[in-house]
């Protein structure tokens, strides 16, 4: 299971308590040369509640290094 699917499956909105989420990966340029050459090396996961629209942003590279403890991280994030 990839990180985006795991987040969507375990999501619980911290604002309204709804458990439906939409996960979208967004790539962005950085500053300096990457901006000039349009090199999009910054990737983030935007997780939006399907009920109230509240959105949280996650760095998948920070979570990817923790694959063995992904369920623990999701428990901490979403109160599993």
Residue-wise pLDDT for 23-63, tens only, equals: 998 876 656 654 454 444 678 899 999 999 999 998 877 77
Helix axes 70-78, 3-10, angle to 10 degrees: 40
What pLDDT, on the 0 to 100 scale, is given for residue 40?
A: 46
What's the pTM value of the predicted model, to 2 decimals?
0.65
What pLDDT, on the 0 to 100 scale, is given for residue 73?
A: 53
Per residue in 60-75, pLDDT (tens digit) is 777 766 554 455 555 5
Q: Give the span between the Cα atoms of 53 and 40, in whole angstroms.
A: 26
Q: Give the span between the Cα atoms of 63 and 59, in whole angstroms.
A: 7
Structural domain range at position 49:
3-78
Split into its structural domains, the chain has a count of 1
């Amino acid at each position: 299971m990839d990180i985006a699917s795991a987040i969507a499956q375990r999501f619980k909105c911290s604002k309204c308590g709804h458990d439906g989420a939409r996960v979208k990966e967004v790539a962005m340029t950085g500053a300096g040369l990457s901006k000039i050459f349009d090199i999009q090396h910054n990737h983030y996961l935007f997780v939006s509640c399907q009920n109230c629209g509240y959105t949280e942003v996650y760095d998948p590279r920070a979570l990817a290094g923790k694959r063995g403890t992904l369920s623990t991280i999701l428990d901490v994030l979403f109160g599993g």
